[in-house]
Amino acid sequence: MNILLISASQREQSNSFKVAQYIKSNILNDSSEISSPILELSKYRHLLDHYGFETNSGFETNNDSLLAKEKDEVLALLYACDAVVFITPEWGGMIPPALVNLLLLTANGSANGLPLGHKPAFAVGVSASGGGSNPISLLKAYAAKNSHLTWLPLHAIVQNVEQFLEHPWSPNSNDRYSQVQSRLLVGIKSLVIYAKQLAPIREELVSLSKVHPFGQ
């Protein structure tokens, strides 16, 4: 099984990327049956130019070949996964522009199919302070419309992320950070169960989604 971890920050070596590594090392690496690549959006800067710049002669991009290369690499990761974990920082109450573009890229017309169609998704909000809830609300409100992904009813919010990352792994304890660890652990375990159950029926569901790919 392939669980794709998406670090949605546009900053290199971000706390979101560190949370992705944290989930991978403390939870996903315990299973030899699960591969867990990390899609770090900061490595794909040209995806921000996906819709180009409008000129009198139409739309053009800064570098079409690099954009096409990055788009192909990202779509390959999305198509190959069985489930996805979105790990996104809260920037001024919003999600980063690169994540918005990634979600636009998963639409049927842009992706030549539905790479995340009917695949389970788990949302993790990240904040350097006491925030992190807005990305969850934003993602669950609109991210499934054109991607046709399936949100888990569970989510996790990592607040005071730097202190959280320093906390020993102890998801069975009752302190604040351990309870967040427990939420991550339960969320990932649930994601794996959802992925196993959806796999046999995904192709049939995706074919139905393609009849009305934009959710009207």
139: domain CATH number is: 3.40.50.360
Residue 60 predicted with pLDDT over 70: no
Does residue 105 fall inside a structural domain? yes
Q: How high is the pLDDT of residue 57?
A: 52
* Angle ∠(116,79,42) on CA atoms, nearest 5: 85
Question: Mean of the pLDDT values across residues 150-172?
Answer: 97
Does residue 214 fall inside a structural domain? no
Which letter does DSSP use for residue 2 in this model?
B
Average predicted confidence (pLDDT) for the chain: 92
Question: Mean of the pLDDT values across residues 112-140?
Answer: 96
Q: How high is the pLDDT of residue 46?
A: 79
Residue 59 predicted with pLDDT over 80: no
Task: Please identify which residue in the block is written with the tokens 């190959």.
Answer: 80
Does residue 180 fall inside a structural domain? yes
Does residue 216 fall inside a structural domain? no
Residue 102 predicted with pLDDT over 80: yes
Decide if 188 contacts 25 (C-beta within 8 A): no
Q: How high is the pLDDT of residue 216?
A: 62
- Helix H segments across the chain? 15-26, 64-80, 97-105, 108-111, 133-142, 144-147, 161-166, 176-198, 202-209
Does residue 175 fall inside a structural domain? yes
Q: How high is the pLDDT of residue 179?
A: 98
Residue 54 predicted with pLDDT over 60: no
Q: How many structural domains does the chain have?
A: 1
State which residues form the domain around 43.
3-209
Does residue 215 fall inside a structural domain? no
Q: Which token pair is 84?
A: 């996805």
Q: How high is the pLDDT of residue 188?
A: 98
Does residue 171 fall inside a structural domain? yes
Q: Compute the chain's Rg from CA coordinates.
A: 17
pLDDT band at residue 25, thresholds of 50, 70 and 90? very high
Candidate from 29-38, 59-68, 100-109 with smallest mean pLDDT? 59-68
Residue 213 makes CB contacts below 8 A (sequence gap 6+) with: 107, 108, 109, 114, 146, 148
Decide if 16 contacts 8 (C-beta within 8 A): yes
